[in-house]
Amino acid sequence: MALKCGIVGLPNVGKSTLFNCLSSAKAQAANFPFCTIEPNLGVITVPDERLTELAEIVHPGRIVPATCEIVDIAGLVKGASKGEGLGNKFLGNIRECDAIIHVIRCFDDDNVVREGGAPVDPIADKEIIDTELQLKDLETIEGQMVKQEKMAAAGNKDAKVMVNVLRAYKEVLDKGMNARAVTFDDKEEQQAAHDLFLLTTKPVLYVCNVDETSAKEGNQYSRLIEEIATQEGAEAMVIAAKTEEDIASLDTYEDKKLFLDELGLEESGVNRLIKKAYNLLNLQTFITAGEMEVKAWTFHKGWKAPQCAGVIHTDFEKGFIRAEVIKYDDYMKYKTEAAVRDAGLLHIEGKEYVVQDGDIMHFRFNV
């Protein structure tokens, strides 16, 4: 399941520094715009303590965590929707992503220049990015509107649905709001909306990049963004990217833990960010556990057992018979599959079973 999050923001807000922490791929980090000309792609692992705890019981040959692709997209600037800077290319890169990680500068530093030399202003920075994405979406909508209205007038039912969707989106975008503020109950409208691939319908996580002293509690800048995110129904979090870079450079788990303890943090900001990004995409994990491997498999929340079986192999879904399910807590309590079975806690589930996060699964199939 190739899922991709794109890191966006204005130049010099810490995108590439954050990307370096998230991925083993190293983007060039420099204090000038457009140092990232090509999007940098990295594959990140999703932290999941359950895999390690299971491995201590099962002793598998390997542990395979879930993964997600992350893309460091070069800094947008005002006018990107009109092609300013490398705008069209960057906006195209965003279109290919499933979710947006929007990094916003929430720190003071005279050595890091804000575009135009203006004072730090996280709300204005956020609005610049929002506006550029909204303008591009309006361009998409207006390009479709005339064509769809003509087809609708000629009696095309699909076009009539699309016109309703386009008008609903245009209404909110004209008010300076993001298209994700619009929801559709009708399935045909939902499909039409999906087919537009608008930039501002993508789920967003606002990442407030703060200084080290604000890594735990945030600061006056980050609180402004958190308030706006709440109003939008979006996610926001605080991270000190430069500090995360220092943590990532440490060699041992013990050294990293000591550093986090000194900052008063239970978990690194990078781990929290990855988990939030995973949730942002409405993803969950089921697990297979055996002597060969303990492996996390990614699925969309709400999927039923046959769909999840298909994540492993399409034949598993085609020939699905049943799923044998053990709850994670039960496995940890009884330590072996046999003991769980003897306790009557191995559940046999059919095609309508909705898989839950952390389920330990074994699929029976026949093709």
15 carries a ligand binding annotation: yes
For residue 157, give the H/E element and its range: helix 157-174
Task: Round to whole Å and give the CA distance between 271 and 268.
Answer: 5
214 carries a ligand binding annotation: no
Transcribe 207-223 into DSSP letters: EEE--GGGTTT--HHHH
Task: Round to whole Å and give the CA distance between 50 and 33.
Answer: 41
For residue 90, give the H/E element and its range: helix 87-95
14 carries a ligand binding annotation: yes
Written as six digits, the tokens of 166 are 């386009």
Burial class (CB in 10 A: 0-12, 13-18, 19+), 179: buried
What SS3 class is residue 44?
Answer: strand
- What single letter denotes the amino acid at residue 158? D
327 carries a ligand binding annotation: no
236 sits in the region (left: phi over 0; alpha: psi -120 to 50; else beta) called beta
Cite the annotated binding site by residue number: 12-17
Report the binding-site residues for ATP. Answer: 12-17
